[in-house]
Structure 1
Amino acid sequence: MRIVVHGQQAFGKAVLERLLERGEDVVAVCTAPTKEGKPEDPLAELAREKGLPLHQPASWKTPEALELMKSFDADVCMMAYVLLFVPEAVRDAPKFGTFQYHPSLCPHHRGPSSINWPIAMGREQTGLTIFWPDDGLDEGPILLQKTCAIGPDETLGDVYFKKLFPMGVDAMMESLDLVKAGVILKHDQRLDQGSYESWFKKANAEIDWSKPVADQYNIIRAANPAPGAWTTHKGETVQIFDSARADGEGTAGQVVEVSSEGVTVQGNGGRIIIKRVRPAGGDKQPAADWAASAGLSAGDILGS
């Protein structure tokens, strides 16, 4: 089966590596153009290393892009982490069309920050979807889905790199095998319902110490490692990364203790032990080191 791999970054590279390990016939690799002054995408690097035809059009909305996809004479296109919009005519150019990976249980959490949001909302489960994209936002018939638990202390990084990334590579291979077996049913379980959330941005990652401590902790986990939850101290922003929950009552936002373990801050109905931070203009560091350099002490109020 003649395959086009269309993707970006580490996930796209991992999918291509697996295909080559399996001895699949990859006839072309497509990825976003390399930006001036930026390192080349890992997928593009691997394609060049393996001598595979590499194409990096700035847009897929042109007649030239459509002719390019047709020229591959492909059976299927596998979209692994694609940010550029690809129109229907291009997606349908391969014999069996195009399927795509999305790291959520669609139709829930469609959108660009689909891993952050379920953690921020306190969900205990998420997963991935392989689907046949149409022109909507993460919409189209589902090919397969896989689920995974979100542990009570797991962060964005934990859920993606330890679960959704390796599961996703396996699911892309399973999907290819389904297509090879003739299972290309574009059935009625569509993705145009459910929730769509936009980017999980800095504004979404601000810690409101007056909210329930579970909500605060979920935001910190959902924003670790990006975009980084944050609060303020003496008007200066500090991002919060690794943390833990603890029991205790007191004034919301007040620093209860500074120790070698970190900075313990009172929330609403419990406490957060901040273990790793990044102050404005600085690097990530143990919270105890930041507290010493910033003159933070018990009784200070964060977020004011």
Structure 2
Amino acid sequence: MRVVVMGQAAFGEAVFRRLRDDGFDVVGASAPGPSGGRHDPLWAAAEAAGVPVVETRALKDSAGQEAWAALKPDLCVMAFVTEIIPHEVLELPRLGSIQYHPSLLPLHRGSSAINWAIIFGRTETGLTIFWPDRGIDTGPILLQRRCPIGPDDTVGSVYFERLFPMGVEAMSEAARLVREGRAPRIEQDHAKATYEPPCRDEHAQIRWYEPADRVYALIRGCNPQPGAWTTVEGGRLRIFDCRLTGEEAPGMPGRVLRVDEGTFDVRLNGGVLRVMRVQPEGEKKIPAGEWAAQAGIAPGYRFR
């Protein structure tokens, strides 16, 4: 079976290598073009293997589509695709296209599925391999896999520790099912669908008056991107690594309780947040206690 892989970054590369290891005839790849003089990992892996590469954005014009069609694919495997691809391109392979999505569809359609699952306080998520159609993550389901969201998980830990390796395995299994003619097309229950927008700064502001678990979920659901933020002297401070300590403390929410060399503690409504890593506006991430010392933040200061 002639397979083309469309994707990017480490996940796209891992799926490309896995399908080749599985014995699939990978005849082409599509990835973002070079940026800053560097090739995307999928692009670089395909080029090193002597596999033709078409820039993903080129698939939106006739020249790119002709180059893609010339590969004569039986199946397109979409591993981490962020561009909107014309439906005609997805229908071009003889057996169609299959796509990875990091949620249990129809929940959390959209590009920030992991972020919102954590922000909303879910204790479980997963991945879906589906047959894309003209909608956004609305196509029939081929297979799904579930995984837990732990109380201290971030977007980074859920993705890299679970959904990345699970996704490579799932894409391999899905492609094998297509090759064997056993791949299902299970319609999604659209009445249960949720769709959230890309998680951006407008969604990431910390409201210190909210319950502790909600504040903590927001910070974890924005780590590492876009980074939950608060303001200090008119500038934005992004908060990344942190923990709820299990303590209770009196006073107003947002009040700094203590500062040490590496961390500082903030009183929340229903708990205490130990902040371990922050990023001042325009600077690199640094230990939270180090930033507090530099900024003159002492116990009694209040974030608002």
Q: Which TM-score applies when normalising by structure 1? A: 0.95
Residues 262, 289 of structure 2: 8 Å contact kept: yes
Q: Which amino acid aligns with 2:97?
A: T
1:58 aligns to what SS in structure 2? helix
Secondary structure of the 1:302 match is coil
The CA deviation string for residues 74-132 of structure 1, in whole angstroms up to 9 with x for no partner, is 11110111122222222121111000000011111110111100101110000000000
Deviation at 1:279, TM superposition (A): 1.1
What are structure 2's unaligned runs of at least 5 residues?
none
Aligned position for 1:8: 8
Match of 2:256, as an amino acid?
A: V
Partner of 1:134: 133
Matches of 1:41 and 1:135, distance apart in 2: 27
User: What's 1:50 paired with?
Assistant: 49
SS of 1:126's equivalent in the other structure is: strand
Q: What is the deviation of 1:40?
A: 1.4
Which residue number in structure 2 is paired with residue 29 of structure 1?
Answer: 29
Superposed counterparts of 1:241-256, under 5 Å: 241-246=240-245, 247-249=247-249, 250-256=251-257
| Residue number in structure 1 paired with 2:259 | 258
Q: Separation in 1 of the partners of 2:34 and 2:9? A: 11
In the alignment, structure 1 residue 77 sits paired with structure 2 residue 76: yes
Higher mean C-alpha deviation, range 245-254 or range 121-130: 245-254
Report the Cα offset of residue 65 of structure 1. Answer: 3.8
- Mapping 1:48-197, distance limit 5 Å: 48-56=47-55, 58-189=57-188, 194-197=193-196
Distance 1:136 1:275 in 2: 41
Q: CA deviation at 1:140?
A: 0.3
Once the two structures are overlaid, the 10-residue window that deviates more, 104-113 or 240-249, is 240-249
Structure 1 match to 2:303? 302
How far is 1:23 from its partner? 2.8
User: Which stretches in structure 1 are left out of the alignment for 5+ residues?
Assistant: none
**Identity of matched residues, %:** 44
Report the aligned-residue RMSD: 1.6
Aligned length: 302
Q: Deviations over 1:164-183 (max 9, x none)?
A: 01100000001011111212
SS across alignment from 1:44: helix
- One-letter amino acid matched to 1:127: G
- Partner SS state of residue 113, structure 2: coil
Aligned partners of 1:62, 1:284: CA distance in 2, in Å? 40
Q: Partner residue of 1:269? A: 270
One-letter amino acid matched to 1:119: I
With structure 2 as the length reference, what TM-score do the two structures score? 0.95
Find the counterpart in structure 1 of residue 19 from structure 2.
19
Contact 1:139 1:192 in 2 (8 A): no
Could you tell me whether the CA contact under 8 Å between 2:209 and 2:254 is conserved in 1?
Answer: yes
Give SS of 1:14's match.
helix
User: Could you tell me how far apart the structure 1 residues matched to 2:56 and 2:78 are?
Assistant: 15
Query: How many angstroms apart in 2 are the aligned matches of 1:67 and 1:190?
Result: 35
Q: 2: CA distance between counterparts of 1:73 and 1:190?
A: 33
Distance (Å, rounded) in 2 between the aligned partners of 1:188 and 1:124? 25
CA contact (8 A) 1:258 1:288 kept: yes
* Aligned counterparts of 2:129 and 2:230: Cα–Cα separation in 1: 37
CA distance in 2, matches of 1:263, 1:185: 52
Distance in 1 separating the partners of 2:143 and 2:23: 23
- Larger mean CA deviation between 54-63 and 232-241 belongs to 54-63
Instruction: Give the partner amino acid of 1:26.
Output: V
Tell me which amino acid in the other structure corresponds to 1:256: L
Q: Which moved more, 1:245-254 or 1:151-160?
A: 245-254
